Amino acid sequence: MNLFRFACASLLAGAATLAQAKPIAFSQGTTVMAEYGAGTMTEAQVFYAPKYFLSLGGGYLDLESDIDHRRREITYARVNYLVKRWNMEDAQANVFVWGGAGQAYVSELDQHQFAGNAGAQFDYETRRIYASLKTDLHRAEAFSHRVDTLQLGIAPYKHDFDSLATWFVLQGRQYTGGIHDGTEWALLLRLFKRGAWVEAGVTDEGKLQAMAMVNF
Amino acid sequence: MKKLSFIAFALLIGTANAGTIEMKVYGLVCGFCAQGIEKTLRKNPATADVVVSLENKLVAVATRDGQDISDADLTKALTDSGYDVKGIARTQRSLDDIRTELKQEKK
């Protein structure tokens, strides 16, 4: 068992989890996010939330197959909706859904096509553990790609409102439609304080996985 | 049961007095997400200062001299931020007192 797999197993054994990005941060807040996903996906998003349960905005997603190097450059407008939130004394859980539409460049055809987007996320978190499962579908006439992401996190200490939050996160991600074979695992270090969030780590193939986000 | 919990909460943190309002709030687990609470409360012209403690599930508001924010308005502000208010009490503690106590609790 190599070091990476041992670390993954240890994290899972700890049954812990972390705070993951939510598609809606807070009412009348703006969220700007950029993610670099191991060379396979690059995404940037901007959302504004007029209500705590609704945000509107758009994004850019670049998917590049690490099998045959086909590319999709998708620009989309999206609506995110909080279907249900459970506020517990020491925990919170959420169900989000989203939908949108835009345009995709399809490299093997060298043409642009209309593209639709739909997804959902469930998350549960305390101040020490976090779990989330997200599915994100992008579809056009020439392709259908679903990106499924599982995140499990553990915090070594309980952060508070004005203190730095530190999380160790195990991420598993699967792509459909010939973007990547199998599950891509990554170990991440996540740090956030008030409105600023950064995370970075490495995949089981030794590639960089990173994300930055600000809320204001 | 909820009423009893609220009375116990109010007794625990002090007698009623204008100036500081302390709220027990459920769902406070992430500072990144809870910053919307502070942002919303600070928009109220009667708000002088705000303290949020995830550890104590506490949101405390200091009001400006001679001003108050009704329980209904506070509950709406927290609910519209996506959180559940479980109790509201007007106390004699200043926000500086609360900050000091929170720091001592961490030691």
Q: How far is CA A91 from the centre of its chain?
A: 20
Among the residues of A36-86, which ranges form H helices? Answer: none
Record: contact A85-B82, CB cut-off 8 A: yes
Q: At what angle do helices B31-42 and B71-80 cross, to 10 degrees?
A: 140
Q: Report how many domains make up chain B.
A: 1
DSSP classification of residue A158 = -
Contacts of B27 in chain A (CB under 8 A): 85-88, 91-92
pTM of the model: 0.84
CATH for B53 = 3.30.70.100
> How do residues A17-45 score in pLDDT, each as one tens digit?
333 577 888 888 999 999 999 999 999 99
ipTM of the complex as predicted: 0.81
Give the confidence band of A167 by pLDDT, cuts at 50, 70, 90: very high
Q: A91 by DSSP, 3-state: which?
A: coil
Q: Report the DSSP beta bridge partners of residue B56.
A: none
Record: contact A87-B37, CB cut-off 8 A: no
CB A39 within 8 A of CB A215: no
Domain boundaries, given as residue ranges, for chain A: 3-215
Query: Which structural domain range is residue B99 located in?
Result: 2-106
Give the confidence band of B82 by pLDDT, cuts at 50, 70, 90: very high
Q: Report the DSSP beta bridge partners of residue A47.
A: A31, A57
In terms of residues, how long is chain A? 216
At the top level of CATH, which class does the domain A3-215 belong to?
A: mainly beta
CA dist A197 and A30 (Å) reads 14
Average pLDDT rounded to a whole number, residues A137-152: 97
CA dist B39 and A216 (Å) reads 9
